[in-house]
Amino acid sequence: MHIPVLQKEVLDYLSPKPNENFIDCTIGEGGHSLLIVEKILPQGKILGIDWDPEAIKNLESRLQNLEFKKNFILVCDNFVNLKKIVKNCNFQPDGILIDLGFASSQIEESERGFSFQGDEKLDMRYNPEMNDLTAEKIISDWPEEEITRILEEYSQERFAKRIARQLIKERKIKPIKTTFQLVEIIRKSLPDRYHYQEQKIHFATRTFQALRIAVNKELDNLNNVLPQTLEILKPSGRMVIIAFHSLEDRIIKNFLKEKNKEGLIEVLTKKPIGPAEEEIRMNPRSRSAKLRAFQKLS
């Protein structure tokens, strides 16, 4: 079971009240929304959006026998289309949540190559039906300079040039189609001493992260959705955003700073809120979470 991060903090900053309406732009397994819905009964509704059709299907099944099923509206779409989704659903929110992490099931069960824990095809798409670009296509077709760029830009991989060069070399010999193939190529790219040093993260983590971000255009989508949230929020409405990556957090921080200067919002978090030590012990994946929040001024 996926454990939603910063549960208390999300509720504190969104401050849901009876009969209010909320949007969860990345509803996933519904962890945060199931906490919010208890606060907004009896008439409040949650518009839950997720790009991953498996996530929506699983959540629909989970809600089937729950008494507050009627309080959920579920949509399978990319949150970059937020204004269109809201218009189609005739929905105006009192609060919005975006949690930019991804569910444990996507890592462990999706078989789309998000993780190197198993030997899976190099897909990495959240929604295969709405996205033609895969990690395999990037590795197979993109020039060395572009692969280097995304590794440097999206994950600060210090061996980006070496990894990109090795990928180009290997793909001329044999197609690169699986996660284990990619991990072995990354291993070959790194200095021998690097394999034996005690590392905080696995040596392939940064490459997988960069490919996932590129495949799903995650940073572009975040840049595009933030202005939309401000447009559709009710006056005095609240927004909570949880980032797990420094580039995501920088985009959010700059957006809040700009809109605060324009007098459109009040920033509720002077610094990003992270998990307490107890939460990190219970859920190590929460370690890098950073929560920021704002309130729309009327």
Q: If pLDDT is split at 50, 70 and 90, which confidence band does 3 have?
A: confident
pTM of the model: 0.92
Q: 58 Cβ partners below 8 Å, 6+ apart?
A: 29, 105
| For residue 23, pLDDT beyond 60 | yes
Per-residue pLDDT, averaged over 169-192, amounts to 95
Mean pLDDT of the chain: 93
d(CA 195, CA 293): 40
What pLDDT, in 10s, does the model give residues 102-148? 765 556 666 889 988 889 999 999 999 889 999 999 999 999 999 99
Q: Per-residue DSSP letters for 55-67?
A: HHHHHHHHHTTST
Reported confidence tier of residue 285, pLDDT bands at 50, 70, 90: confident
Q: What is the arithmetic mean of pLDDT over 74-90?
A: 97
Question: Cβ–Cβ contacts within 10 Å for residue 35, how many?
Answer: 16
Name the band, by pLDDT with cuts 50, 70 and 90, for residue 196: very low
Query: What pLDDT, on the 0 to 100 scale, is given for residue 192?
Result: 73
Domains with residue ranges and CATH for the chain: 7-106+218-296 (3.40.50.150), 112-216 (1.10.150.170)
